[in-house]
Amino acid sequence: MARDIILVHGSAHTGECWDLLRPELTRRGFVVHTPTLGGHRGNPRVPLATTMRTYGDDVLAVAQEIGEPSILLGHSMGGFVISEAAERAPRLVSNMVYLTAFVPAFGRSSMTRVAPASPMLAKSSKFHWNGAITFPGDAAKTLFYNRCTPEIQDYAVRLLSPQPIRAAVSSITVTEAALGSIRKQYIECTDDNALPLSSQRTMQSYMPFERVESIDSDHSSFYSMPETLAQVIDRITTG
């Protein structure tokens, strides 16, 4: 039986970042959806009009089109995005997977408060007058793709997008009655230079995760080890 899964990218990325993972999941029976959030390259929206709320709208539009409960997987910032979407429409979500992702605490929270990201993120980013930030290629390779081959690093850097600042710092509110009622798993990455393992483990205490899987990967396992990541996703979402 096919399983719909919506893959939600993180900061400074687009739906293209899943191109190596998509065929691995498809071979395992998933129907894969890879939206690009509005405000990122390929899906224009004014950066200062882009928030977690509009990101949630983007994910819910895909879920509503599917019409049946889907798996939501969020990477990095995408953990907040899928939480925002699931809180608003839990009936459309069968399962949630947080991939080295930010996890909100119940109540109101923001990514800047739940756990520290690497200090290198702020030091490496470049701010722009229109309300977006970008990451230079060499910095991105160190932060996001340190376990990838040079060829994959170059490919990934070419696909990077400006990141709307307002969305990255805006808050969401989640409840035990809605978000808390949905099955959840966490995939932690042990060699993550962007979101340290200690921060990942702090946030795992915020929600009732059914299981936590650990993989020896950088921040972007969908690039560095897509087959392994697909196997883990398949295993933890079955049943």
Catalytically annotated residues: 76
DSSP per residue, the chain: --EEEEEE--TT--GGGGTTHHHHHHHTTEEEE-PPPTTBTTB---GGG--HHHHHHHHHHHHHHH-S-EEEEEETTHHHHHHHHHHH-GGGEEEEEEES---PPSEEEEHHHHS---HHHHHH-EE-TTSEEE--HHHHHHHH-TTS-HHHHHHHHHT---EEHHHHH-EEEE-TTTGGGS-EEEEEETT-SSS-HHHHHHHTTSS--SEEEEE---S-HHHH-HHHHHHHHHHHH--
